[in-house]
Amino acid sequence: MAKFKYLKPSTLQEALCFLNGNESDKKVISGGTDIMVQLRNNKIDPEIIIDISEIENLKGIHSRDGFITIGAATTLTEIAESDIVKRYCPILAQAAASVGATQIRNRGTIGGNVCNASPAADTIPALVALGAVATVVSVEQEREVLLEELFVGVGKTAINSNELLTFISIPQPTENSAGSFFKLGKRKAQAISIVNGAVQIGVNAAEGKFTDVHVVMGSVAPTVLRIREAEESLIGRSINRQNIENAAEIVKNKISPISDVRATADYRKDVSGNLFIEAMSDSLEQLGVDVSYPGC
């Protein structure tokens, strides 16, 4: 492992000051579950490592003013076990619980999963489906970025080198909404997703119509994909199998997966449609709407 200087700020202000100078290559670390592997494989070679894991106000989950706010240094275990997350955004709890294994989730953080910007990251599709917003701060300014606009390529985000992701805020879903997270891997634990994704839907059960639909797919493009055409094909329409199957076709056509060691592109396309249908069926079941898919 290359030599680097290790800094452990105890406050956000101190961390931002460390990030502000542009004289050398810096990397932010918290749980280190991705960074340590990259350091060891010489994929990154920073001069300074800034450890934000001890900054108290970047940890924890709060529900206030209609938003669930999660500090960037909150661990995946804390998110998976949080009563607030399980109650208001269960798809995020499921996504967090599906990352790596216990040891990884005990150290790995939500901020790290987002900033590492892997196309196969598990929490990202859930966060995008929930309409999450990232708070990004530098010494000079604080800005909010819609999470789906944060990713610019494989491993790349729109966060500048002098900025720090501090919080992720999720608008509290309404009563008549539900969601489903899905992940297909070779095994349950420690698997990099072949395909993952999430749907979050709102319905008017009395009229039998979709009022809101978020469809997000991961591992099928360089960045997470929100499939707006599939969403638009459902919003305001009747809840029935035909409409869901049409939307599944759109999902299959709008993704651009690659063939790699985990699966072929064709397989990823087919399975994406099926996973989408299963997720819609699961979400509707939670809302007490039966579209009866035999075998799902």
Partner 1 sequence: MLIEFKVNAKQYKMDVCPTMRLLDLLREELRLTGTKEGCGEGECGSCTVIMEGKAVNSCLVLAPQICGKEIITVEGLADDRELDLLQQKFMEHSAVECGFCTPGMLMSAKALLMKNPHPTDEEIRTAIAGNLCRCAGYSKIVAAIKDAADA
Binding site for partner 1 (CB under 8 A): 1-6, 8, 29, 31-33, 36-37, 39-40, 49, 51, 53, 77, 100-104, 106-107, 188-190
Closest CB 57 distance from partner 1, rounded Å: 18
Residue 60 Cβ vs partner 1, minimum distance, rounded to whole Å:
16
Judged by CB, which is closer to partner 1: 77, or 283?
77
Residue placing its CB nearer to partner 1 in the complex, 55 or 178:
55
Contacts for 84-88: CB closer than 8 Å, 24+ residues apart: 85/61, 88/63, 88/170, 88/172, 88/173
- Residue with Cβ nearer partner 1 (47 or 207): 47
CB of 113 to partner 1, least distance (A): 14
Least separation, in Å, of the C-beta of 77 and partner 1? 7
Give me the residue label for tokens 């202000």.
Answer: 13
Say how far apart CA 27 and CA 39 lie, in whole Å: 10
Using the minimum distance from each CB to partner 1, give the nearer residue, 52 or 213. 52
Nearer to partner 1, 8 or 209 (CB): 8
Tell me, rounded to whole angstroms, the distance of Cα 4 from its chain centroid: 30
Closest CB to partner 1 among residues 2, 154? 2
Choice between 33 and 123, CB closer to partner 1: 33
**Shortest distance, CB of residue 128 to partner 1, whole angstroms?**
25
Contact, 31 vs 112, CB < 8 A? Answer: yes
Q: Which two tokens stand for residue 286?
A: 């939670």
Closest separation between CB of residue 241 and partner 1, Å?
33
The set of residues, in sequence order, having a beta carbon less than 8 Å from that of 237 and lying 6+ positions away, is 209, 210, 243
> Smallest distance from the beta carbon of 33 to partner 1, in angstroms?
5
Chain centroid to CA 120: 9
